[in-house]
Structure 1
Amino acid sequence: MATMNSLPMDPDWWRGAVIYQIYPRSFQDSSGDGIGDLKGIIQRLDYVAKLGADAIWISPFFKSPMKDFGYDVSDYRDVDPMFGTLADFDALVAKAHGLGLRVMIDLVLSHTSDQHDWFKESRQSLDNAKSNWFVWADPKPDGTPPNNWLSIFGGPAWTWDSRRCQYYLHNFLSTQPDLNFHEPEVQEALLDVARFWLKRGVDGFRLDTINFYFADKELRDNPALPPEKRNDTIAPSVNPYNHQEHIYSKNQPENIEFLRKFRSVLNEYGAAAVGEVGDAQRGLEIMGQYTRGDDLVQMCYAFEFLANAPLTAARVVEVLTQVDAVASDGWPCWAFSNHDVVRHATRWNLSPEAQRLFALLLLSLRGSVCLYQGEELGLQEADVAFDDLQDPYGIEFWPEFKGRDGCRTPMVWERTNQNAGFSQGKPWLPVAPEHLRQSVEDQEAVEESLLAFYRAALAFRKAHPVLATGDHANLRATGNVLSFERKSDDAHLLCVFNLSGEAADVPMDVTGWEPLGNALGLAQGNELAPWQGAIFRRVTKEKSKG
């Protein structure tokens, strides 16, 4: 078991870290079957290290029927053969650690696959050893489901099981039954899963749907959500899931105590976790609850910056001000793209210049950062034809919602063939032809490519730790210009971003500040070109004398 080659123990390594998300099916295929794998990731880890990331987050690679592409786990303690073996995973950890990269893996604890042995046993009878390990309920007298809860993937959140003559809960696909966290044995079994991977050398976890772990014990109906409060942050607007306020099917207070147990396990290994908070109304508030103090999870991310709403200066100030109000004692992890949302280059219709500015903005926010594979290349959302769709979510709601395949197409390493250097075989999703000219190989050959900018921006963040861990202050939106300060005991920066295609002025007196980031193309004075930023450092009296 791989416990060697570990990085030095640093319980705070996560604070301000830049985490590079790898979607393993689409990163690099080493076997020629068209599906990315662990050996493929190993081949490309030097690229991630050169980018300047501190850690990788690998989406699920566990044994699975792949109805939801690994987020339906049938064995938490083994690698699905399509991705490789446990030995491959051990080799990956060793290679990553040798490059100075921490390794985080995706733990899907709220539900399993219906092919997991736990569920197979649970559904056999009302009184077997695992009969209470999932959320089972009797029908109403008329035979209908026990309450009105809805699935994120469409339709009721309950499916009838003829063996037990009961319904089981699934917040996602019907093949993803929800575990019953009110059962202490379930909690202990999942904590043991975490220990299994920590003993193999992982440095932490991304916790899928962290606010879905517990359901209301009384299974009360969710109330209706008024139309004016509905939004498509979590589910597309065509999904009736948005018609409810999900106060009973998730976000239960009992979760806090389980997270304390989980944190105590993390502490044994100096590991960290980032939780995914899926809630359209209270995401930031829950993030604050789950990361407050030092006995819960270290980081969480909500969906405010993963939503469709344009990221204007006023919107950034609104979100960060809300974070100060509800999560000032917590720690956010920010992202603009991931495997579940339309790539932000497309979502916000960003020009290449705007993509650079948004990258700099992301890397200047208080908190940790997740980058999603390919965003450093400027990849747009791919247009995947219906016949090529794999995502059940997209197939269900096509064509109004095309699902998540457009952000999951293969990485483009080279332009030389239709498979972009990803695979020798036919990729599981087609490579977007327009992505080929944005390949790593092409961008490596251009001194001022977007990839080069990301590398320089990550290096700039490392050179100025206040950007990673300092406090923020004086949040301001002046028209299209966003500004804030980042402060620590030994550094004080002023960050200004012109989030528009029109020239603008720095909206404050910068006397006593010196401009930084000339190599990043940042403004060196009071004038901001379209989509240009500026970062100034407060000049101390000692420095000005010198």
Structure 2
Amino acid sequence: MTSSPKTNPDWWRGAVIYQVYPRSFQDTKGDGLGDLKGVTQRLPYIAALGVDAIWLSPFFTSPMADMGYDVSDYCDVDPMFGTLGDFDDMLKKAHKLGLKIIIDQVISHTSDQHAWFKESRSDRTNPKADWYVWADPKPDGTAPNNWMSIFGGPGWEWDGVRKQYYMHNFLGSQPDLNFHNPEVQDALLDTVRFWLERGVDGFRLDTVNFYFHDKELRDNPPLVHDPDAIGLDAPDVNPYGMQNHLYDKTQPENIGFLQRFRALLDAYGDRATVGEVGDGARSLKTVAAYTSDGDKLHMCYTFDLLGPDFTATHIRRCVSAFQAAVTDGWVCWAFSNHDVMRHITRFTQSEDERERVAKLAISVLAALRGSICLYQGEELALPEADLAFEDLRDPYGIRFWPAFKGRDGCRTPMVWENKAPHAGFSTAKPWLPVPDAHKALAADAQEKLSDSVLAHYRETLAFRKAHAPLLDGSMAFIDTNEDILAFTREKAGVKLLFVFNLHRGPQVVQLPKALKIAEVMPMPGFAPTLTGNELQLDALDVFCGRVSS
């Protein structure tokens, strides 16, 4: 067991987490696929960003039908990524650099190649017969109910051996575990303990509200469309979004399991959890339930800021809704991850503003109350890759093409060297193409420029770390005369004011007279003008100042 960097138990509160998608980060074997040794090789780069922790997407043994989110062995490393020894070496070196390691725990379902499922499907009387969600067909042979798969089609797959259906929220090769069985919970917690003993610092819990299902297998009712709802988590081309998912996820029994999970982590000290909550318009209510009272998850994130809307109104509405719903919990904000279009493409209106939007976006994220998660490559302002159908590997995109192109466009390889073959990611043809537009934005090219997006990320994260109110201080919105994102962050008598102009034109903002600016604190890369209480902001601009008490 490796020792973690010395920290306080609340190190996760206000932390900056950097997500690494291992198969696209760095290849050291020359097979076009990233690996754990590649992550180890690039740890100094991650540490130099100024982040606190790394979220490592799945590297477990898997047939890779869903790029590792279909696990066939929770306690081993898939050979394509390396070995357990490679993981231990990476963990040790990360800790030496002061970085925490959070691994992606995918426990709502397994691969159909997992030994548990192979035994479960063998007959109806074996010791693991009830470890997955099995149900008889209706008299006409159709599925037990109307539950759907996020990846398209019914949420049930017929098995000819047991002559029953099994439930799957994702691919048919990703059967859902039956959390109503205490033996399943015990076995999963044993796999968590395995990684805790190796010294990992925390877990990102994939689809954390999907663990339990309704025992009665009741049909989901249709969704009554709410134009004001936030937190939608399926593209509108997917009929999954037409149901109100009352019974196939987010069941009350989940609370008890999360308490068991937290008790296990607390026994090891200084460990943390971040849960992914995909629950449509109910996401904030679910986050409140899962992070309350200090005995369940440490923090959660939702899909609220992972959409196309980069406006003051939307961000203020999402944050205000969270603050109203979650009184004693904690949130982790993000603009990008491995499941959504890169935010540079979502937020920009033209290539000319790409750098400006990238810098403004991280400035906004760094000022919000909560922890924040960055996705590899966003610090280079990488846009979404536009891939041909024949290059796709994501089953989600292949299923819904061309209306929805899937997630491969945000999963293309990291670009390290703009002159090297495949941008320094690999010496072989990568598993996904490296777009020419990405090569010009490679890390080595941006290292040479003092005003690059990469330099801005480093400066902004250093600014955040240097000011205690930004880590866990309070947050209050300020009303202005324009549609501007304005708020204060305060802790221990230090109050900072932030004003963001997310418009494509200049804005003149009258600050409330009660706000006395004692010191202008320029955010890296921005230079607005303050005269008295009149603030002149350029397009896509930001102001920061210390408010006198």
Give the TM interval when normalised to the shorter protein: over 0.9
Is 1:536 matched up with 2:535? no
1:363 is displaced (CA, Å) by 0.6
- 2:366 aligns with 363
Letter in 1 for 2:546: R
Residue 476 of structure 1: how far off its partner (Å): 3.9
Measure the CA separation in 1 of the matches of 2:481 and 2:377.
32
**Contact 1:515–1:524 (8 Å) recurs in 2:** no
**Root-mean-square deviation over aligned CA pairs:** 1.4
Q: 1:179 aligns to what?
A: 177
Matched with 1:79 is: 77
Q: Which amino acid aligns with 2:390?
A: D
Which residue matches 1:544?
A: none
Matched, 1:485 2:488: yes
Q: Name the amino acid aligned to 1:389.
A: L
Identity %: 57
Deviations 1:387-436 (A, max 9, x none): 11000100000011000000000000011134000001110000011001
Distance in 1 (CA, whole Å) between partners of 2:27 and 2:447 is: 21
* Pairwise CA distance, 1:477: 6.5
CA distance in 1, matches of 2:194, 2:392: 35
Q: In structure 1, what is the equivalent of residue 474 of structure 2?
A: 471
Aligned to 2:439: 436
Matched, 1:338 2:347: no
Q: Which amino acid aligns with 1:205?
A: F
Higher mean alpha-carbon deviation, 231-240 vs 327-336, is at 231-240
| TM-score, structure 2 normalization | 0.96
Aligned counterpart, 1:543: none
Pairing partner for 1:450 from 450, 453, 469: 453
Cα deviation code 1:130-149 (max 9, x no counterpart): 00000000111111110000
SS state of the match for residue 104, structure 2? strand
Report the AA paired with residue 302 of structure 1.
T
Q: Which amino acid aligns with 1:278?
A: G
- For residues 308-360 of structure 1, give each alpha carbon's deviation from its aligned partner in whole angstroms, at most 9, with x where no partner exists: 3x121111111111112211211000000000000000012262112211110
Residue aligned with 2:2, SS: coil
1:146-225 paired onto structure 2 within 5 Å: 146-225=144-223
Residue 506 of structure 1: SS of its match in structure 2? Answer: strand
Gaps of 5+ in 1: 541-546
- Matched letter for residue 290 of structure 1: Y
Question: What is the CA–CA distance in structure 1 between the aligned matches of 2:206 and 2:510, rounded to whole Å?
Answer: 41
Question: In structure 1, how many angstroms separate the alpha carbons of the residues matched to 2:481 and 2:187?
Answer: 52
2:231·2:281 contact (CA, 8 Å) conserved in 1? no
Shift of 1:382: 0.3
* Equivalent position SS for 2:281: coil
Q: Note closer, same or farther for the CA distance 1:493–1:330 as it changes in structure 2 (3 Å cut).
A: same
Aligned twin of 2:271: 271
1:114 to 103, 112, 115: 112
Asked if the contact 1:55/1:101 (under 8 Å) is kept, the reply is yes
Structure 2 counterpart of 1:346, one-letter code: T
Give the drift of 1:480: 3.4
CA distance in 1, matches of 2:151, 2:108: 15
Q: Take 2:494 and 2:265, find their aligned partners in 1: how far apart are those partners?
A: 31
Aligned to 1:311: 310
Q: Distance in 2 between matches of 1:478 and 1:212?
A: 43
Other-structure match for 1:226: 224
Deviations 1:149-201 (A, max 9, x none): 00000000000001110000000000000000000000011111111001101
Comparing 330-339 with 467-476, greater Cα deviation is found at 467-476
Q: Secondary structure at the match of 1:483?
A: strand
- Paired amino acid for 1:300: C
Q: 3-state DSSP class of the match of 2:367? A: coil
The TM-score, its normalising length taken from structure 1, stands at: 0.96
Match of 2:26 in 1: 28
* AA aligned opposite 1:401: F
Q: SS at 2:293's partner residue?
A: coil
Gaps of 5+ in 2: none
Structure 1 CA distance for aligned equivalents of residues 279 and 194 of structure 2? 30
8 Å contact kept, 2:212–2:253? yes
Determine helix, strand or coil for the equivalent of 1:363: helix
Post-superposition offset of 1:265: 0.9
Aligned partner of 1:398 in structure 2 is 401
Q: Name the count of aligned residue pairs.
A: 537
